[in-house]
Amino acid sequence: MCGVLGIVATSPVNQLLYDGLMMLQHRGQDAAGIATAENNTFYLHKGPGLVRDVFRTRNMRALPGSWGIGHCRYPTAGSAWNFAEAQPFYVNSPFGITLAHNGNLTNADTLKRAMFAQDLRHVNTDSDSEVLLNVLAHELQAAVEKRNQGHRLDAEAIFTAVSGVHRRCRGAYAVVAMIAGYGLLAFRDPCGIRPLVVGTRAIPGGVEYLTASESVTLDALGFRFLRDVAPGEAIFIDLNRQFSARQCAENPRLAPCIFEYVYLARPDSMMDGVSVYETRLSMGEFLADKVRRHIPLADIDVVIPIPDSSRPAAMQLAQKLGLSYREGFVKNRYVGRTFIMPGQSMRRKSVRQKLNTIGQEFRGKRVLLVDDSIVRGTTSREIVEMARAAGAIKVYFASAAPPVRFPNVYGIDMPTRGELIATGKNDAGIALEIGADALVYQNLEALEASIRVLNPRLTEFDSSCFNGRYITGDVTPEYLNAVESRRDGKLAGVEEDGENSRQMVLGLASDEEGRD
């Protein structure tokens, strides 16, 4: 999970890109980067850390131009703190291209070998995003040569190139890219696993465009939501701000990642025609029915959410069951999301730093804690202990999502079965593991129905982390074993890298270090 955005405007976009990344900070806390363009020259700054820490006044001043892209990174394979994998990436042949990517390619290793042996291109990092960039660059060159139009690009050639990317790449990808001298390109994988939206705003100088991972970015920057980018679709905005779009995949199908609705996306976003907030309310409605069947309601004094993602579901569950709803945890806003922190020990330590109990809401009560999901169980276990320490006499636990039993290979950091608390355990065993008196999980059918009821067009989802069925059809047991083995090796050697962020001006001879 990462956040991407791209803007084509009539005036400098550095501040807009910074503000947009701040709205997407929840999607990645490991690194951030911005690339802008002016007079066919790219300007790029990226570094490890939160958006507010990566960019200083001098960095912003060194990002001129009226169009650009941004990225906030969240690592998916134990490679946190590796500056070389911060995005956007850049390649200078056959066209100058910078690219930012949200998702994960499942055939990156195969593509990387082909890059070296057939395409004669070099990939310098372990990042699948750099592989994707080089595939796009190669396909752009092939499209130009096929059309026999020298070294000039047009929208037709660009869309042909994206079609080539779809034919070669497997997995999840929502992409924004700049092509020097031509314009901004954005496209989404043929299954629409990762979200991507586009919006516009009319100003005296004309129309400006913004594309981003979530619609909340449009709202905050004053853009009007136009629509979701369709699965397999590419949009291109040239430097005259002329907008064009094309379906570039042969058999597109809409199957978004269901975990976006459960946890990843902000509640004030719209994704594929559905309000994320409304889906979480709906999840609470469906979860209430199962809680009623498994826990005597007379044995629950109060419903308490685990802030923040579960709050809508907990409120709706309490209302439907006629139970009292209370806020029992206070969240420290200055601690990152524990789910996306790299390393189990860091997650465990941060839970106590992130949450504190309001004692009177637990003392002498039988409480039902509601969370959006249980992945590794670290947070759940700590929270149950905190509730008991605050005086709860019984602690029940309800999850708005089913048990996470399978690796996710499409860009979410849950890739090894050994890290998942539900692996090899039934509900009673998981309840014992987290210390709860009883545990209720949402059924997958109910979870999918809770979203579909708001948009019947959503007939399928990528629910692979719950059911083990991978929507792209290319994930084998051998692939999963290789991913897990590679990740285990990386996690064993992960060290925090204190490398300073740096300023790079591509196409110029300078390389500035440091910050104001």
Contact status, residue 261 vs residue 271, Cβ threshold 8 Å: yes
User: Which alpha helices (DSSP H) does 49-148 contain, by range?
Assistant: 51-54, 57-61, 108-117, 128-147
Q: What is the DSSP letter of 257?
A: B
Q: What is the DSSP letter of 26?
A: G
Look at residues 91, 96, 45 and name the one whose alpha carbon lies nearest to residue 71.
45
Q: Cα separation of 194 and 216, whole Å?
A: 15
Q: Is 176 exposed, middle or buried (0-12, 13-18, 19+ CB in 10 A)?
A: buried
Contacts of 154 (CB under 8 A, 6+ apart): none
232 three-class SS: coil
First to last CA, the chain: 30
* Catalytic residue selected from 2, 248, 257, 465: 2
Q: Cα separation of 187 and 40, whole Å?
A: 22
Q: No. of H helices and E strands in the chain?
A: 16, 23
The vertex-51 CA angle with 414 and 280, nearest 5°, equals 50
Q: Cα separation of 88 and 70, whole Å?
A: 7
Task: Strand 302-305: give its sheet, edge to edge.
Answer: 302-305, 366-371, 394-399, 438-441
Q: What is the DSSP letter of 52?
A: H
Buried b (16+ CB within 10 A) or exposed e, 98-126: bbbbbbbbbbbbebbebbeeebebebeeb
CA distances to 92, 101, 194 from 411, in Å: 27, 10, 9
Record the tokens describing residue 422, joined without a space. Answer: 């539900």
Contacts of 293 (CB under 8 A, 6+ apart): none
Task: Judge whether 465 counts as a catalytic residue.
Answer: no
Look at residues 123, 127, 225, 140 and name the one whose alpha carbon lies nearest to residue 183.
140
Q: What is the dihedral sign for C-alpha 165, 188, 223, 207? A: positive
Other beta carbons within 10 angstroms of residue 427's beta carbon come to 15
17 three-class SS: helix
Contact status, residue 469 vs residue 409, Cβ threshold 8 Å: no
As annotated, the active-site residues are 2
